[in-house]
């Protein structure tokens, strides 16, 4: 059974559609990035996954179980939504002891180990009120790890962190994934997702516009090429009529165009036959940031049609 399966998930607040027929699948072992701008519906989706709010429509399954129908759905599931909250006048260790008492079982025996995992053991006796934002985020993960989860849900875990804190959080997430924990993290920061995730879903205006691997995301865009030759004017004339080239743009540094890879050899032959020498032909593949903005900077009144690339 997959750790997370959402099918047709909808959440409405009156006339506002916060989540609009979301389908996504998180496989065991994934570090899955739920990517979108603020207000896109990420946190609302996570709340429904954890059974904190009831969907208007659709289904949530965690390891095959509905979190609203049975507490079994949350066995092996942990995390936090928005930001973790603790008693500020108690120490980090004391906060974990209180949480462990609620969980029972072997949770209390996990405290020193999880403090070590999140690198807070040296500050465990300090009041949480004196912690930095990054330390509180790490304590939140420590609290989640008390449950020895198979699935960890994290909502914007690096928000508000300085560059060092962001780096440390990414390293921690990679380490947890290396220990066999499936991680789903929501984020609006592409760098974070690119560095730690193997699969992503992009949500815009409540609806999924892409789901798949990072390589699949890169393949959604055609490559733009920059061309420089010994005869710019003749080059423009040839490219204008050459099959397979589109979106031609000319500037002081030559000509750019979008083309599929198979069109490039024919263009090279056409230029040579016309007596035009190529001085540079450079593919300019879009960055993941470019692709992300291509997906989210569309008509915001309704989500784009989903592009689902999950083979399962």
Same structural domain for residues 199 and 249? no
Same structural domain for residues 199 and 228? no
Please report whether residue 126 resides in a domain: no
Structural domain of 51:
4-76+149-218+292-296
Domain count, the chain: 2
Please report whether residue 123 resides in a domain: no
Please report whether residue 144 resides in a domain: no
Please report whether residue 309 resides in a domain: no
CB 168 within 8 A of CB 117: no
Same structural domain for residues 240 and 279? yes
Same structural domain for residues 161 and 214? yes
Please report whether residue 163 resides in a domain: yes
Q: How far apart are CA 156 and CA 59, in angstroms?
A: 23
Q: Which helix (H) or strand (E) holds 49?
A: helix 42-49
Same structural domain for residues 159 and 261? no
Please report whether residue 127 resides in a domain: no
CATH number of 265's domain: 3.30.70.100
Highest mean pLDDT among 105-109, 123-127, 163-167: 123-127
Indicate whether 309 pLDDT > 50: no
Indicate whether 300 pLDDT > 70: no
Question: 99 φ, ψ to 5°?
Answer: -65, -40
Q: How far apart are CA 162 and CA 127, in angstroms?
A: 21
Residue from 281, 274, 284, 282 nearest 233 by CA: 274
Same structural domain for residues 255 and 162? no
Give the pLDDT confidence score for residue 20 in this predicted structure: 94
Per the structure block, which two tokens stand in for 180? 């066999």
Same structural domain for residues 184 and 240? no
Residue from 145, 9, 153 nearest 73 by CA: 153
Give the pLDDT confidence score for residue 298 in this predicted structure: 55
Same structural domain for residues 257 and 211? no
| Predicted model pTM | 0.78
Give the pLDDT confidence score for residue 161 in this predicted structure: 82
CB 22 within 8 A of CB 207: yes
CATH number of 191's domain: 3.40.50.300
Average pLDDT over residues 49-57: 94
Q: How far apart are CA 248 and CA 239, in angstroms?
A: 8
- What confidence category does residue 303 fall into, taking pLDDT thresholds of 50, 70 and 90? very low
Average pLDDT over residues 175-197: 88
Same structural domain for residues 71 and 158? yes
pLDDT digits (tens, 9 = 90+) for 226-261: 999 999 999 999 999 999 999 899 888 889 999 888
Give the pLDDT confidence score for residue 106 in this predicted structure: 81
Assign 3-class secondary structure to 284-303.
Answer: ECCCHHHHHHHHHCCCCCCC
């Amino acid at each position: 059974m997959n750790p997370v399966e959402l099918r047709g998930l909808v959440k409405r607040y009156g006339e506002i559609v916060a989540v609009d027929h979301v389908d996504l699948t998180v496989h065991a072992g994934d570090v899955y990035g739920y990517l979108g701008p603020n207000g896109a519906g990420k946190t609302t989706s996570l709340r429904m996954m954890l059974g904190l709010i009831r969907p208007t429509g659709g289904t949530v399954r965690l390891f095959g179980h509905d979190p609203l129908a049975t507490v079994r759905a949350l066995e092996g599931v942990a995390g936090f939504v928005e930001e973790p909250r603790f008693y500020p006048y108690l120490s980090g260790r004391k906060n974990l002891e209180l949480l462990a008492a609620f969980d029972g079982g072997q949770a209390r025996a996990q405290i020193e180990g999880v403090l070590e995992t999140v690198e807070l053991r040296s500050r465990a006796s300090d009041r949480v009120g004196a912690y930095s934002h990054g330390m509180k985020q790490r304590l939140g993960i420590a609290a989640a790890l008390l449950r020895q989860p198979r699935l960890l849900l994290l909502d914007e875990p690096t928000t508000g962190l300085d560059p060092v804190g962001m780096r440390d959080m990414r390293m921690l997430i990679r380490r947890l994934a290396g220990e066999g924990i499936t991680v789903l993290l929501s984020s609006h920061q592409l760098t974070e997702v690119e560095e730690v995730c193997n699969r992503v879903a992009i949500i815009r205006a409540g609806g999924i516009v892409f789901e798949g691997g990072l390589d699949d995301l890169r393949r959604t865009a055609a490559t733009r090429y920059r061309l420089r030759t010994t005869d710019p004017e003749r080059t423009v004339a040839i490219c204008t009529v050459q099959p397979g080239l589109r979106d031609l743009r000319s500037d002081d540094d030559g000509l750019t165009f979008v083309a599929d890879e198979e069109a490039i050899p024919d263009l090279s032959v056409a230029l040579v036959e016309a007596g035009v020498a190529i001085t540079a032909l450079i593919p300019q593949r879009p960055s993941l940031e470019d692709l992300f903005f291509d997906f989210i900077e569309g008509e915001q009144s309704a989500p784009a049609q989903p592009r689902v690339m999950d083979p399962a």
